[in-house]
């Protein structure tokens, strides 16, 4: 009873409108519902929901959240139903308890990737509806981690710890509940790496014996520094937790012996002006550690966190971290989003989608399709560190570190990203792959003819940009493969002197387990379905005449002299329906054929490619292709040149100049042989067509230092 009164009194101190009767009713309901249940520790089961409610009270959450904490397991573990809770405590509490129950049933560590993704989707959508569900679940997970030692199943303990580190720690960080985040990290560390944790703690104890970690003495010295500037502050010193020290050691690649940065001091003042006065006093008194100053007051984190961070070589030349903030900022730093209730009574924090990062997670849920893609993007969204950039109008855009102008464009608006063709960074036109830095002003240049490029995937950092680009590529890919598949079938039927009719295709869909004709086209284009099998399914009697049929195909292909029946290459996205072979590097103007490869679609070769002669491909898998003259010239192609040159100073520069003067762009250079008098190299050059590479080769051939130059075809 004493603990019950203590809990209710705690809630009353920060929630004056508390209805004690409702809290008592919830307490008694929970005790009765869990009466016959015990925990792994041997204690009564209700001790768990009570501790969860106590954690929520320390976070200063509202009355309904506390009631939810007391009742969060009753639907899952007792005979009570959502309807029972709604009758006694109202629809809002019933909805919260039901939300937490649903989260508890979601396993985020499934071995099956698809199942794990689906569960994570449900998890994100659940917390997006009411952020208090996440608060209760974090409190639930924290108490479970505190009592993890009583769980006998070691594999399950390991699984819970890993899930906590991968999911709940970043979520706690995202909503700014720093105290819970740090305790979860430490408990995970204790479970997964107890030896490393104890080693770090011993190192901290050793530093204490050397007189380097005397927090009381350092506190006194820091106060003296403030007194010289007539400023007062509450100074709180503490040792960093082992896990945060371990993370820093990993990031900086330092050993235990090099470990010295183990203390942090908070300066808590009355207002923002005093924050900067304290900063001045500290920086004028002690040397600063370069590169450690961060002003989160002028540029707050997405979760509302505000503070000034710096590191100094303090008293006794000990390196210490310093954080300077007001009392309100400190509350928000420790309690996160929940603390806003105390300062902004009109803030509706119940809806998770009020938070930008949750909205972005929900958008990823709606646009991602592949399991690996979804998990990668959501983890990126939860873990990212930030840089802050500005639009030309002065709007602030926060992005992950090493983001590019493409990330910036998608962060401003999805369509801006789709049509992004260039960027001005601080007034200067720079490549789209440029890493953005804090304070950059970014102006996006757009074109209605621009489309997202697959090349962007190698440089973008934000999940939103990645998912939008992937979605575009997949849509484009499906269209291209479907169109290609239809052309391949028409081409194949024509070669066999049979009329192509979609009705025939529709009649055989069930034989291939497809429901739509587009599925047939896509899989033929992708190489998953052999067009010969489609043909035989429609004309089964011709299967017996296979040898004769193949002979006719070969004869028809040999007779073909022009482009009339060839399949034209279309689409400007590399690696989709058509992939250009890297053995012969085909160029517009050359005679080309296509090799239909299962799962990859058509690989384009020159008709005289050496590789085709080495391997025995089935005749029906080789397609006659032609260049799409409408699109030729709109993209660059790669051609490989083999050059043998005299080994003299300046000769390599002449090669580069010859290529550059003819508007070629070197993208790769490899020395294959080096002798005293000459060396041989392969140069990959971006060109427009066969004529373009011919001009470049002619220019190189005219150089006196060059003995051999020709195109390399494998």
Tell me the per-residue pLDDT of 63-101, one tens digit each, with 9 for 90 and over: 999 999 999 999 988 888 899 999 999 998 998 888 888
3-state DSSP assignment of residue 700: helix
Over 90: is that where the pLDDT of 233 sits?
A: yes
The alpha-helical segments, DSSP class H, found in 560-671 are: 610-614, 651-661
CA–CA gap between residue 492 and residue 533 (Å, rounded): 11
Active-site residue list: 76-77
Tokens 């050691």 sit on residue: 249
Domain locations in the chain as residue ranges: 2-105+131-192, 203-343, 357-470, 471-626, 637-711
Q: What are phi and psi of 299, to 5 degrees?
A: -130, 80
Instruction: From residue 238, give the alpha-carbon distance in Å to each of 25, 179, 197, 219, 528.
Output: 40, 13, 17, 10, 62
Distance CA 556, CA 623 (A): 12
pLDDT at 87: 92
Q: In this structure, are residues 314 and 260 in contact, taking their beta carbons and an 8 Å threshold?
A: no
Q: Please tell me the class of the 2-105+131-192 domain.
A: mainly alpha
Most confident of 172-186, 208-222, 625-639: 172-186
Find out whether 91 and 71 touch, Cβ atoms under 8 Å: no
User: If you average pLDDT over each of 268-272, 415-419, 709-713, which comes out highest?
Assistant: 268-272
Give CA separation, 265 vs 182, 279, 309, 324, 339, in Å: 16, 13, 10, 9, 21
Q: Which CATH architecture has domain 637-711?
A: 2-Layer Sandwich (3.30)
Is 682 within 8 Å of 642 (Cβ atoms)? Answer: yes
pLDDT class of 431 with cuts at 50, 70, 90: confident
Full DSSP string of 217-277: HHHHHHHHHHHTTT---EEEEEEPPHHHHHHHHHHHT--STT----EEEEEEESSHHHHHH
Q: Assess contact for 270 and 277: CB atoms under 8 A.
A: no
Calpha distance 423→442 (Å, rounded): 7
Say how many CA atoms lie within 13 Å of 326 toward its Cβ.
Answer: 13
CB of 680 closer than 8 Å to CB of 644: yes
Q: Any residues with CB less than 8 A from the CB of 13 and at least 6 apart, and which?
A: none
Where are the strands (E) in 354-504, listed by range?
386-390, 396-400, 420-425, 428-430, 442-446
How far apart CA 373 and CA 703 sit, in angstroms, is 50
Report the side by side order of strands in the sheet with 319-326.
Answer: 234-239, 263-269, 319-326, 308-313, 294-295
| CATH code, residues 357-470 | 3.10.20.30
> CA-to-CA distance for 567 and 93, rounded, in angstroms?
64
Tokens of 247: 């993370």
* 250 vs 446, higher pLDDT: 446
Strands 622-626 and 592-597, sheet pairing: antiparallel
pLDDT exceeds 90 at position 326: yes
Structure tokens given for 503? 């009705």
Least confident window among 130-134, 223-227, 274-278, 304-308 = 130-134
Q: Quote the percentage of the chain above a pLDDT of 90.
A: 21
Distances (CA, A) of 560 to 169, 477, 565, 622, 662: 65, 29, 8, 14, 35
Between 363 and 180, the higher pLDDT residue? 180
Question: Residue 597 has which token pair?
Answer: 């490869």
Closest CA relative to residue 640, chosen from 592, 701, 685, 670: 685
Residues 486/493, Cβ–Cβ less than 8 Å: no
The SS3 assignment for 675 reads: coil
What's the Cα-to-Cα distance from 284 to each of 131, 193, 253, 277, 579, rounded to whole Å? 43, 41, 30, 11, 62
- Report pLDDT for 140: 93
In this prediction, residues 270-287 reach a mean pLDDT of 93
Would the pLDDT of 545 be above 60? no
Higher pLDDT, 548 or 194: 194
pLDDT at 449 over 50: yes
Residue 45 DSSP symbol: T
State the Cα–Cα distance between residues 470 and 48, nearest whole angstrom: 44
Residue 319 parent element (H or E):
strand 319-326
DSSP 8-state assignment for residue 149: G
pLDDT at res. 210: 66
**Closest CA relative to residue 406, chosen from 436, 438, 368, 375:** 436
Percentage of the chain beyond pLDDT 70 is: 80
Q: What is the pLDDT of residues 146-168, one digit of tens each?
A: 999 888 888 788 888 888 887 78
d(CA 534, CA 524): 9
Residue 399 is given by DSSP the state E
What number is the average pLDDT over the span 413-431? 89
According to DSSP, residue 38 is labeled B
**Phi, psi dihedral angles at 428 (to 5 degrees):** -115, 130
Res 363: pLDDT: 60
Phi and psi at 164, nearest 5°, equal -60, -45
DSSP 8-state symbol, 596: E
CA atoms within 13 A on the CB side of 265: 28
Distance between CA atoms of 485 and 577, rounded to whole angstroms? 9
pLDDT of residue 582 exceeding 60, the answer is yes
pLDDT averaged over every residue in the chain: 80
Of residues 440 and 253, more confidence is placed in 440
- The rounded distance, in Å, linking the Cα atoms of 267 and 226 is 10
Three-state SS for 674? Answer: strand
Please report which helix (H) or strand (E) contains residue 191, including its range. helix 178-192
- Return the structure tokens found at 404: 């590019």
Q: DSSP states of 452-494 as a string?
A: --GGGGGT---HHHHHHHHHHHHHHHHHHHHHHHHHHHHHHHH
Q: How far apart are CA 164 and CA 186, in angstroms?
A: 11
Please state whether the predicted TM-score (pTM) of the whole model is above 0.75.
no
- Burial of 196-215, coded b for 16+ CB within 10 Å and e otherwise, reads ebeebeebbeebeeeebbbb
* 203-343: CATH class: alpha beta
Q: 438: pLDDT confidence band, cut at 50, 70 and 90? A: confident
Angstrom distances, CA of residue 340 to CA of 63, 179, 354 = 15, 16, 13
The count of residues in the chain is: 714
What secondary structure letter does DSSP report for 337? G
The answer to whether the CB of 592 falls within 8 A of the CB of 606 is yes
Q: How many other C-beta atoms are found inside a 10 Å radius of the C-beta of residue 235?
A: 18
Give the three-class secondary structure for 214.
coil
Is residue 659's pLDDT more than 80? yes
Which pLDDT tens digit goes with each residue over 626-658? 777 665 555 678 888 999 999 888 888 999 999
Task: Select the more confidently predicted residue: 406 or 491.
Answer: 406
Distance CA 116, CA 374 (A): 10
In this structure, are residues 103 and 72 in contact, taking their beta carbons and an 8 Å threshold?
no
- 226-230, 563-567, 570-574: least confident range: 570-574
């Amino acid at each position: 009873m004493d603990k019950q009164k203590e809990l209710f009194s705690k809630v009353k101190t920060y929630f004056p409108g508390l209805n004690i009767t409702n809290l008592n009713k919830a307490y008694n309901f929970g005790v009765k519902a869990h009466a016959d249940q015990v925990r792994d520790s041997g204690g009564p089961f209700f001790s768990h929901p009570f501790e969860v409610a106590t954690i929520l009270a320390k976070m200063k959450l509202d009355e309904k959240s506390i009631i939810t904490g007391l009742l969060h397991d009753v639907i899952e573990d007792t005979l009570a139903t959502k309807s029972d809770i709604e009758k006694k405590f109202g629809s809002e509490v019933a909805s919260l308890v039901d939300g937490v129950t649903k989260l508890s049933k979601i396993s985020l560590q499934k071995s099956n990737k698809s199942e794990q993704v689906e569960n994570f989707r449900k998890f994100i959508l659940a917390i997006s509806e009411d952020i208090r569900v996440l608060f209760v679940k974090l409190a639930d997970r924290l108490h479970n981690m505190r009592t993890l030692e009583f769980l006998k199943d070691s594999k399950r303990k390991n699984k819970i710890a890993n899930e906590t580190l991968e999911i709940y720690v970043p979520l706690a960080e995202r909503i700014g509940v720093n105290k819970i985040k740090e305790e979860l990290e430490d408990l995970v560390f204790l479970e997964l790496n107890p030896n490393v944790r104890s080693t770090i703690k011993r190192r901290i104890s050793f530093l204490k014996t050397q007189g380097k970690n005397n927090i009381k003495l350092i506190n006194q010295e820091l106060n003296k520094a403030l007194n010289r500037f007539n400023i007062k502050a509450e100074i709180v010193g503490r040792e960093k937790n082992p896990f945060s020290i371990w993370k820093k050691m990993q990031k900086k690649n330092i050993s235990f012996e090099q470990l010295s940065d183990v203390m942090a001091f908070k300066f808590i003042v009355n207002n923002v002006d005093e924050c900067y006065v304290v900063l001045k006093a500290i920086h004028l008194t002690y040397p600063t550690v370069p590169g450690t100053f961060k002003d989160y007051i002028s540029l707050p984190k997405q979760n509302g966190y505000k503070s000034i961070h710096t590191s100094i070589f303090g008293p006794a030349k000990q390196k210490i971290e310093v954080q300077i903030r007001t009392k309100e900022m400190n509350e928000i730093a420790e309690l996160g989003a929940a603390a806003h209730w105390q300062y902004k009574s009109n803030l509706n924090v119940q809806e998770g989608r009020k938070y930008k990062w949750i909205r972005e997670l929900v958008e990823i849920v709606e646009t991602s399709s592949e399991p690996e893609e979804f998990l990668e993007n959501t983890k990126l969204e939860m873990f990212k560190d930030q840089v802050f950039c500005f639009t030309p109008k002065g709007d602030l855009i926060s992005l992950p570190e090493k983001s590019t102008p493409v990330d910036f464009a998608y962060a401003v608006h999805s369509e801006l990203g789709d049509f992004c063709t260039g960027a001005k960074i601080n007034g200067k036109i720079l490549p789209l792959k440029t890493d953005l830095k804090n304070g950059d002003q970014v102006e996006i240049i757009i074109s209605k003819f621009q489309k997202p490029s697959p090349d962007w995937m190698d440089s973008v950092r934000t999940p939103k940009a990645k998912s939008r680009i992937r979605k575009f590529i997949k849509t484009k890919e499906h269209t291209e493969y479907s169109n290609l598949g239809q052309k391949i079938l028409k081409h194949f039927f024509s070669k066999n002197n049979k009329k192509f009719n979609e009705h025939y295709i529709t009649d055989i869909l069930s034989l291939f387990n497809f429901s739509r004709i587009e599925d047939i086209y896509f899989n033929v284009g992708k190489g998953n379905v052999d067009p010969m099998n489609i043909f035989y399914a429609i004309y089964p009697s011709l299967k017996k005449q296979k040898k004769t049929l193949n002979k006719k195909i070969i004869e028809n292909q040999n007779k073909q002299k022009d482009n009339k029946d060839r399949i034209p290459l279309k689409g400007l996205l590399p690696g989709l329906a058509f992939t250009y072979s890297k053995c012969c590097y085909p160029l517009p103007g050359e005679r080309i054929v296509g090799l239909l490869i299962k799962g990859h679609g058509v690989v384009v070769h020159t008709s005289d490619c050496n590789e085709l002669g080495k391997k025995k491909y089935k005749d029906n898998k080789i397609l006659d292709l032609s260049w799409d003259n409408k699109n030729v010239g709109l993209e660059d192609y790669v051609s490989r040149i083999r050059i043998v040159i005299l080994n003299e100073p300046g000769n390599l520069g002449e090669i580069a100049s010859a290529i550059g003067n003819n508007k070629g762009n070197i993208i790769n250079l490899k020395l294959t042989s080096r002798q005293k008098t000459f060396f041989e190299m392969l140069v990959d050059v971006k060109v427009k067509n066969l004529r373009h590479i011919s001009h470049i080769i002619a220019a190189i051939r005219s150089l006196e230092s060059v003995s051999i130059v020709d195109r390399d075809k494998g």
